[in-house]
Amino acid sequence: TGVIVELTPHVVGANQVLLTLHAERSEISSFSSDAGYVFGTQETDTEILLDDGETAVISGLTTKDL
Per-residue model confidence as pLDDT tens digits over 47-66: 999 999 999 998 877 766 65
Q: Which residue has the higher pLDDT, 42 or 18?
A: 18
Asked if residue 65 belongs to a domain, the reply is no
pTM comes to 0.69
The CA-atom distances, in angstroms, between 42 and each of 2, 26, 35, 50 are 11, 6, 21, 25
Asked if residue 56 belongs to a domain, the reply is no
Average pLDDT across the chain, whole number: 86
Average the pLDDT over 10-17 and give the result: 94
Count of domains for the chain: 1
Asked if residue 11 belongs to a domain, the reply is yes
Q: Which residue range is the domain that position 42 belongs to?
A: 2-31+38-51
pLDDT recorded at residue 56: 92
Asked if residue 12 belongs to a domain, the reply is yes
Asked if residue 47 belongs to a domain, the reply is yes
Asked if residue 63 belongs to a domain, the reply is no
